[in-house]
Structure formats: C-alpha cells, structure tokens
Amino acid sequence: MTERSYLGEFELMILLTVIHLGDEAYGVPISRELERHRGREVSVGSVYAALERLENKGLVASSLGDPTPERGGKAKRYFRITKSGLGQVHETRQVLSKLWQALPELKGERT
Amino acid sequence: MRRTKPPSIATWILRHLTLGNLNDALAGDLLEEFRAGRSSRWYWRQVLQAIAIAFVRDVFSHLDVLFFAALWSMLTPAWLLTIANIELRYHLNERCWQMVWPWSTVCDLGLLLAANLIFIWVGIALYLIPHLWIAGGLQFRRFGRGLFASIPVLIALWAALIVLPKFFLGGQLVEQHSVAPVSMFSINHPIPIAIQQVSPQEQWDVRYGEKVIDPYINPRNAIADLRLATMIVRLPFFFSILCTLWGVTSRLGNRSNRIAE
C-alpha cells in the first residue's frame, strides 16, 4: 500500500488553478490566477517549487512547449493534473467539507 | 517606453540558480511577465525569492551530506595528532629541506597537501562509494572526478583560513600560530634550531601552541575538544568535504533527472 501524504494549502490552490486553466496552465497564468484570488503577490519560484513537489508525487505531469521570442527563447512548461491528482483533490474536498461543517460562527459576524 | 530587457545581474544570478529542469521555464516566465509590464523591482524580488527557495530546498535535500561532513570533520584533530606523530618520528619535513631549492619547497607543499587530502579523500570515499553504487554502478572516472573536485575547494579554504583569522580573531591566536594545527606549515615551519634542542613535549607546544590545541593523551580527547580554536581547525575540512560532496551529489541528482525525462 502506498503512503498517502496530505496536500498543503498552497499545493491544493495550485492543483485547483491547474485544473481551472486546463491546457493553458504554465507558470505565468498559474501565478496570475493565484495572485487574483489571494489578493497578494505570488513568488513564481515558490509556484515552481510546489509544482515540482506535486510532480514528484505524481499529482501533476508536465511537458515542454515551443520556445518563443517574448520569453527569450525559453520554452513554456505546461502542467496538467493526473488522474491521481484529481482523486486527491476530490478526497481533500470531502475531508475539508466535513470539517468545515463543524466550524463555529464568528461572534458579531453578519450573515 | 516599456523596457524589454530585465536587470542583467538578476538574470545572470537566475541563470546560475539550481532549480533543476524548471530553471529555464522560470526564467522564461519572469521575462514574459517583465515584458508584459512588471517593474525591475518586481523582477529582482522574484529572483531573490527563487534563490532563497532553491537554497532551502538544496539544504534539505543535502542533509545527509551536511551531517556526514560535520561528523567526519570532528575527527580532524585526531588526524592532525597522527600526522604530528608521524612527523616527529620520521622527520619528513627535515628530509624535504635537505633537498635543493625549488625541490625542497615542492616537497614541503606536497607533504602539506597530501597530509590534508588523505583525510578528506578517505571521508569522501566512505560517503561516495556506497552512493555511486546505489546510483547505478561505481565508475572509476566519476569517483576520481569527485575526489579531484576537492582540491581547489581545499586550497581556496586554506588560503582564506590562513589570512582571515589574523583579521577576525585578534592577536591571541595569531601569536599561537592562528591556523597552526590546520596547516602542515606549522609542523614544517616552526623554528627548527629551537625545536631540536627541546623535549618532545615542548616541541609539541612550540609547534602547535598550547593555547590552540593541548597535547592530547589520546585521540579521543582530541575528537571531544570543542573549543573555538579547535572548531576553527575543523572548518576547512568540514567545508571541503561539504562542498565536494554537495557538488558531486547534485550532479548525480541532475543526471538522474535527465535520465528520468
């Protein structure tokens, strides 16, 4: 039986962003999406470090695109979620949904 | 007018980062964002954050190397004690100085380098042989490259350690041959006439300076010595082994990644 590791918050956000972007998931759009949703600057290096961890766990797979002049001749690395990655996202959602049900309301919170 | 060229120093630093096979993609992404209107400050910030992330990641992936280098360098004083005993018994240095110049100097420097490299190479070999074996077969060329990589590192660290303590450690250690036990020069270059006239115990004191390393009764005491001066003695050995093994294991990792791709 393989050992299952839990997804970190940032890793989960990246997986969801990769799913959301589909075929256009590479460093720049992933970082922009994360910035848009989190409302603060994201380090592209940390996005790549997390993607590398996810790739080592087999949750995402990557492939190289063609080099383009606006990127100084550097190729884009596209990421896509694997079957195992999708399974892990679903499982995390189920666990979190159950846990969130027990979340107490904040005092004075307007509904 | 929009700038199209990002800060060249930052780009150079980024190019030499070790984010493995993702480095090119990261560089391309940063350039694309910069050309899309991000500032130089943003670019610098991203590069510095990427360096910090790569460094932390590298440290965590080399914890075994760090631990081994620390462990092996703890044995340094015992090794120096052995070298000193060999020198006292066989007077290798005196034999060197009986030669005609420049051979006397060549022999002297050769002894210095050999005495240090043997200790470092044994340590590197102990670590590398099982690792290379596991990583796909022990090849003499790769193993030899690993050993020779330690020579420039060692020389650079020696040079730094011979010069630096004079500035940073004040007069006390300088008077006592600040790097005395580190360097075979301390064995090779005390005052020869004075040494021939004193007892072996005093010879030790003259050669090493009793404040730097006491004459140990047995090597175990030398290994357990954690005083500042003795820790400084361990530093070049620690960094030589660390830098060499770090470089060799990183190359092994990169090679495995390339094969996997």
Q: Do A44 and B32 touch (CB under 8 A)?
A: no
Q: Which of A38-52, A58-72, A75-89, B184-198 has the lowest mean pLDDT?
A: B184-198
pLDDT of residue B97: 78
pLDDT of residue A110: 56
Show which of residues 8-37 on chain A sit within 8 Å of chain B, judged by CB atoms.
26-28, 31
pLDDT of residue B13: 85
Q: How far is A76 from chain B (nearest CA, A)?
A: 6
Specify the 3-state DSSP secondary structure of B19: coil
| B32, B47, B254: best to mutate for the A interface, most A CBs within 10 A | B32
Q: Which residues of A touch B32 (CB under 8 A)?
A: 28, 70-71
pLDDT of residue B170: 41
pLDDT of residue B160: 66
pLDDT of residue B192: 34
Mean pLDDT calculated for residue range A75-95: 93
Give the contacts of B154 (CB within 8 A, at least 6 positions apart): B113, B116, B117, B120, B236, B240
Task: Choose among B106, B111, B126, B117: nearest CA to B148.
Answer: B117
pLDDT of residue A78: 95
pLDDT of residue B130: 84
pTM equals 0.65
pLDDT in tens, chain B (261 residues): 556 788 989 888 888 765 566 678 899 999 999 998 899 999 999 999 998 988 888 888 889 999 999 999 998 878 877 777 777 778 787 788 788 888 888 887 788 778 888 888 899 889 988 887 777 666 677 677 777 777 777 777 667 666 555 444 443 443 343 334 444 334 333 333 333 344 555 555 555 444 444 445 566 777 777 777 677 778 888 888 888 888 877 766 655 555 444
Q: Which residues of B touch A31 (CB under 8 A)?
A: 29, 33
Q: Is B54 on the interface with A (CB under 8 A)?
A: yes
The DSSP element (H or E) to which B232 belongs, if any, is: helix B228-260
- What is chain A's mean pLDDT, rounded? 88
Q: Do A45 and B24 touch (CB under 8 A)?
A: no
Which chain A residue is nearest to residue B27, measuring alpha carbons? A74
Q: Which residues of B touch A70 (CB under 8 A)?
A: 31-32, 35
Which chain B residue is nearest to residue A53, measuring alpha carbons? B57
* Cα A49 from chain centre: 11
Q: Is B227 on the interface with A (CB under 8 A)?
A: no
pLDDT of residue B88: 73
Q: Does A53 have pLDDT greater than 80?
A: yes
What's at B142, amino acid-wise?
A: R
Q: What is the C-alpha to C-alpha distance for residues B52 and B40, in angstroms, rounded to an integer?
A: 18
Q: How far is A95 from chain B (nearest CA, A)?
A: 29
pLDDT of residue B196: 39
CB B123 within 8 A of CB B161: no
Q: What is the C-alpha to C-alpha distance for residues B108 and B106, in angstroms, rounded to an integer?
A: 5
Give the contacts of A3 (CB within 8 A, at least 6 positions apart): none
Task: Choose among A53, A62, A49, A60: nearest CA to A88.
Answer: A60
Q: What is the C-alpha to C-alpha distance for residues B30 and B36, in angstroms, rounded to an integer?
A: 10
pLDDT of residue B59: 87
Q: Do A27 and B25 touch (CB under 8 A)?
A: yes
Which chain B residue is nearest to residue A50, measuring alpha carbons? B53
Specify the 3-state DSSP secondary structure of B233: helix
Distance (Å) of CA B200 to CA A98, B94, B194, B211, B213 = 78, 16, 12, 17, 15
Class for domain A9-97, per CATH?
mainly alpha
pLDDT of residue B212: 40
Q: How far is B26 from chain A (nearest CA, A)?
A: 7
Q: Do A28 and B29 touch (CB under 8 A)?
A: yes
CB B232 within 8 A of CB B161: yes
Q: Is A58 on the interface with B (CB under 8 A)?
A: no
* Cα A2 from chain centre: 22
Mean pLDDT calculated for residue range A78-85: 96
Mean pLDDT calculated for residue range A5-13: 87
Give the contacts of A5 (CB within 8 A, at least 6 positions apart): A57
Q: Do A74 and B25 touch (CB under 8 A)?
A: yes
Q: What are the structural domain ranges in chain A?
A: 9-97
Q: What is the C-alpha to C-alpha distance for residues A7 and A54, in angstroms, rounded to an integer?
A: 9
ipTM of this model?
0.86
Q: Does A90 have pLDDT greater than 80?
A: yes
CB B186 within 8 A of CB B207: yes
Q: Is B10 on the interface with A (CB under 8 A)?
A: no
